[in-house]
């Protein structure tokens, strides 16, 4: 059943989707998707299910799913905790190269 509170007319949705994204919005989305992909790959490399990883992290499986889909704004604390559990390192995110990897797998 649809929640009417979240229903909007199709033309409003199309209009909203047609709005250009700012450079900052694009950068934010790119970083979120990149982090999500890295988290998912590292979790799978450790043979952890989303549920098992969530238990270790003290969060719900749906939160892990949101992390991996890029549907989440990470706090630094969360990123550091994820890195510790999955063996990932956080490089300096503020540098001259806007495409530098934020999380990398540490071997």
d(CA 68, CA 51): 13
Q: What is the pLDDT of residues 19-75, one digit of tens each?
A: 787 888 888 888 889 899 999 999 999 999 999 999 999 999 999 999 999 888 888
Q: What is the pLDDT of residue 107?
A: 41
pTM to 2 decimal places: 0.69
Q: What is the pLDDT of residue 22?
A: 84
Which of 72, 74, 73, 71 is closest to 88 using CA atoms? 74
Of the pLDDT bands very low, low, confident and very high (cuts 50, 70, 90), residue 92 is low
d(CA 29, CA 37): 12
């Amino acid at each position: 059943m649809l929640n009417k509170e979240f229903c909007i007319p199709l033309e409003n949705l199309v209009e909203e989707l047609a709005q250009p994204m700012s450079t900052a919005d694009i950068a934010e989305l790119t970083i979120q998707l990149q982090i999500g992909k890295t988290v998912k790959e590292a979790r799978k490399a450790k043979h952890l299910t989303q549920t098992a990883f969530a238990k270790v992290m003290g969060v719900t499986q749906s939160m892990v799913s949101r992390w991996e889909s890029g549907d989440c704004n990470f706090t630094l604390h969360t990123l550091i905790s994820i890195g510790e559990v999955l063996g990932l390192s956080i490089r300096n995110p503020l540098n001259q190269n806007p495409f530098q990897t934020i999380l990398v797998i540490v071997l």
